Structure 1
């Protein structure tokens, strides 16, 4: 019979799994915080005693959440970061108790280690790590916005697409010291760019709303493109809202830099399995935004697809601004190596 703590953790995990399967979430940040909450409950419980126990549970949980929604990587990203931290912390504490291991490098020192040895300090270490990650999640948009003054200057024209809370905070922070214009592409068919345009205009920022078809025509006026993304893939490419590839191509044609604002929890160790990300982890939503089915059988023989994401190759990106600072696309591989455990492919 499972303990009350185990039952609580399991019920919370099942609730998140159901949420992902039904697509009943609006932001990756929301999913990330829920994931950390579940992990915190498990870590505080008596369901595990060793690093091996914890790592196995984390791996199983990551796989469960991945199967629930293949297009949503934030949960898996956070759990993989925790696995690396648990491994590193266990290794460091084990080496401190066994000085003979200090002469070996960090990779070799993990080989042959028994992760089923009990180290009492590990529990509090992991709990502190979870608190730090929760704080990082809550402050990520604010930390990214602190970089705004360095990248947006007076009399510039900035183009963005759709609505991103991180981009919104970034632009509003820049507007405190600079006067500039923002062009917002509406991002049809959801057209949530309308909401961003209204919010920016309400903050006294000169804002122009355009149809997506006008992006190329307007790009010659633009000084820089600033966008958010759903995730940064391991090759430095993006899985971003549908339409962003069009923006990036137009920017490339006019030599306009493309700056991507992204919290660390959106950095994914996954590679695109092909150049057509629709075949891998895209998500499709109801086509009723495209066709008016109230007309009866008019569209009965029309196939309509409404994909959520685009794949944007890394050669179209100029700069990433993470909550830990600005990085070139070429640095992504090293950042992945520092953030996630080595994964055999």
Structure 2
């Protein structure tokens, strides 16, 4: 594993610095290429890259209304997910941004009060005549509109009508008959600019969440790890490191480090030697064990901690290769399995085919086919990741709390809009 870095990966840092000076389309193509070549890899770096490019879409892309902005985000999101379909965090970030837009749109609609035709007509005389009344903050109407005067019959008069491009002018629109000197286009631009500002603020909050997620998860370490505990961890990363180091401030415990053979280096991971030095200097004893010798140690283990790439809606976890064997051994010996996850890793989707979430590596790193007759007769599958079934996980610790599997649906409702949860982000082959 690659040495742990407190900041982002070099390629990610270069990409972020170049966003302001490069056109949007060029920046998007660059990110797609980096994701395909895995020069930006790992859940958190991919999520950070996705949120930065989507911020540029909101700030720079041309669009006239909310539907146009949503379409731009969806199009860019599809390209990013297609470039790296095994990182659930990318699709999660796209859905989070879509949810922000819909939330701000709904709040704008609420500010205008009632949004139906009948609501508007109650404020107007039965006969068409001159009036100087202001209708719930809208421009003054010189004549009362009738149902026949709407550009869309029976269409609700709401913020969506204000943002619709065909409502800007014309006799078919109530604003086309307005007695005010302010054109509809000005109000439309004002609403779009306000929406853009609010969405950008929301994206900045997601960025702050990604920067603080490891420290927030580590805040729950003291209630999970007790003195003299034996903790088994797998495939060390920055989240696991900070979690254990936070617990070591007040606790003295032993850590078993299960290491499997890996073919990839993930940005943000800690090498076992460096990680062990940090724990040892904090008074924590560490012991390296092999995945093949788990049963011999599982009887002493008090808790298994897994850091994962993603969590599906049903509670399944996408983790590094070898995690399933650890979780199954823990279940056989009655040991609890705890998953560490930022909320950006929780996906609103469940998959009917777990193998579709598995990332496969090159067999040459494990089996040398340069000699022998097996090369044309044997197919070797090398999974870099595995799907840990929901029934093998007991507890999920996120940056907002400690959860059980039954609590995950409510978290999904809080973080995603229902309209985007089932949105297909992948591009058909």
**Same fold, TM-score > 0.5, yes or no:** yes
1:330-345 aligned at under 5 Å gives the runs 330-342=406-418, 343-344=421-422
For structure 2, which runs of at least 5 residues remain unmatched after alignment?
A: 1-18, 117-155, 165-187, 424-429
State which of 355, 364, 375 in structure 2 corresponds to 1:300: 375
- 1:142 alignment counterpart: 215
- The answer on 1:53 being equivalent to 2:99 is no
- 2:308 alignment counterpart: 229
Which runs of 4 or more aligned residues in structure 1 lie more than 4 Å from their structure 2 counterparts after TM superposition?
4-7, 110-113, 190-194
- 1:43 alignment counterpart: 58
Instruction: Tell me: CA distance 1:37–1:218, structure 2 relative to 1, closer, same or farther (3 Å).
Output: same
State which of 205, 213, 227 in structure 1 corresponds to 2:292: 213
- The answer on 1:247 being equivalent to 2:323 is no
- Per mean C-alpha deviation after superposition, the further-off stretch among 175-184 and 306-315 is 306-315
Determine the C-alpha separation between the residues in 1 that align with 2:157 and 2:251: 54
Bigger radius of gyration among the two: 2
Determine the C-alpha separation between the residues in 2 that align with 1:165 and 1:289: 25
Cα offsets for 1:17-50 (capped at 9, x unmatched): 1122222223221111111211222222262242
**Does the 8 Å CA contact 1:184/1:197 hold for their aligned counterparts?**
no
State which of 58, 80, 96 in structure 2 corresponds to 1:81: 96
- Per mean C-alpha deviation after superposition, the further-off stretch among 50-59 and 182-191 is 182-191
Cα offsets for 1:181-236 (capped at 9, x unmatched): 00011122449899235412343121111111011221111000111001000111
TM-superposed deviation, 1:5:
8.8
Aligned residues: 330
- Per mean C-alpha deviation after superposition, the further-off stretch among 125-134 and 49-58 is 49-58
Determine the C-alpha separation between the residues in 2 that align with 1:254 and 1:111: 62
**Does the 8 Å CA contact 1:188/1:212 hold for their aligned counterparts?**
no
**Does the 8 Å CA contact 2:256/2:288 hold for their aligned counterparts?**
yes
- 2:402 alignment counterpart: 326
Determine the C-alpha separation between the residues in 2 that align with 1:305 and 1:21: 20
- The answer on 1:271 being equivalent to 2:350 is yes
Determine the C-alpha separation between the residues in 2 that align with 1:229 and 1:243: 12
- 2:367 alignment counterpart: 291
State which of 117, 123, 141 in structure 1 corresponds to 2:196: 123
- The answer on 1:179 being equivalent to 2:252 is yes
Give the structure with the higher percent helix.
1
TM-score by length of 2: 0.72
**Does the 8 Å CA contact 1:189/1:290 hold for their aligned counterparts?**
no
For structure 1, which runs of at least 5 residues remain unmatched after alignment?
A: 102-109
State which of 389, 413, 418 in structure 2 corresponds to 1:313: 389
Larger RCO: Structure 1 or Structure 2 (Cα < 8 Å, ≥ 6 residues apart)? 2
**Does the 8 Å CA contact 1:172/1:200 hold for their aligned counterparts?**
no
- 1:203 alignment counterpart: 279
State which of 31, 41, 60 in structure 2 corresponds to 1:16: 31
TM-score by length of 1: 0.88
Cα offsets for 1:138-158 (capped at 9, x unmatched): 110111111111111110000
Instruction: Tell me: CA distance 1:264–1:133, structure 2 relative to 1, closer, same or farther (3 Å).
Output: same
Determine the C-alpha separation between the residues in 1 that align with 2:272 and 2:111: 52
**Does the 8 Å CA contact 1:244/1:312 hold for their aligned counterparts?**
yes
